[in-house]
Amino acid sequence: MLTGLATATFPDGSTPAVIDVVRVAANLFSAGQETTVRLLSTVLKVLAERPDIQRLLREDRGLVPKFIEKTLRMESPVKGDFRLSKVPTTVGGVDIPAGTTVMVLNGAANRDPRRFEDPSTFDPRRRDARQHIAFGRGIHTCPGAPLTRAETRVGLERLLDRTVHGPADARRYRYLPTFVLRGLTDLHLEFTPAGEDIR
């Protein structure tokens, strides 16, 4: 990806300014780290609060990917993003002129009752687990989404192998005060070793 940025050219053959390439690269690094950290900490918070889900995942590790997707839908690490309206349009009864910057709220879309039956229910066994826009859609899909999913899955599986989370009343947390990212600045949990063969 970095090679593509470094060798990019515009349709007219010109090249982007070096500072613009550096800014895009820095954004990729930052966004990649932030989404994984925010998602993994939220996954751990959910497990500490929901011993029933923790038990379910211990009994059926095949549900771990669906659990991660459900966490993405319910607690997306990205609250929203900005888009530019190229043409006049209407969204939710509001007229949006061409050239208007609009903030798209992923979390609201991911809980839309027109799209999700019982949208506030957290059940990793639901079939619609991956039908969310936590990582955007189309040309705006996050290029690091597969890596974030993989890192979160591996981290979660290792923690399930080695520890038991909880009790729920022992956890303390605080959310990041920002309108773009949703994540924790602090997460305090109690862990108990899962067995004697912990490495």
- Residue 1 pLDDT exceeds 80: no
Q: Which residues contact 78 (CB under 8 A, 6 or more apart)?
A: 35, 106, 134, 135, 136, 142, 180, 181, 182
Hey, is 148 helix, strand or coil? helix
Domain extent listing, the chain = 15-191
Q: How far is CA 51 from CA 18, 68, 128, 184, in A?
A: 50, 16, 22, 20
Q: CATH for 15-191? A: 1.10.630.10
pLDDT tens column, 21-67: 888 888 777 777 788 888 999 999 998 888 899 999 999 999 999 99
- Residue 171 pLDDT exceeds 80: no
- Residue 176 pLDDT exceeds 50: yes
Rounded-to-integer distance, Cα 149 and Cα 174, Å: 23
Percent with pLDDT over 70 in the chain: 96
Q: Which residues contact 173 (CB under 8 A, 6 or more apart)?
A: 45, 184, 186, 187, 188
Residue 57: its pLDDT value, please?
94
Residue 85: its pLDDT value, please?
94
Residue 199: its pLDDT value, please?
41
Q: What value does the mean pLDDT take over residues 171-176? A: 82
Return the CA Rg of the chain: 20
- Residue 177 pLDDT exceeds 60: yes
152 compared with 4, residue with greater pLDDT: 152
Residue 197: its pLDDT value, please?
45
- Please give the model's pTM, rounded to 2 decimal places: 0.81
HSE toward the beta carbon, residue 142, CA cutoff 13 A: 27
Look at the chain and count its residues: 199
196 compared with 123, residue with greater pLDDT: 123
Q: What value does the mean pLDDT take over residues 72-91? A: 90
Residue 193: its pLDDT value, please?
84
Rounded-to-integer distance, Cα 188 and Cα 45, Å: 9
Q: How confident is the model at residue 198 (pLDDT cuts 50, 70, 90)?
A: very low
Rounded-to-integer distance, Cα 100 and Cα 120, Å: 31
CA dihedral 70→131→153→36, nearest 10 degrees, is -90
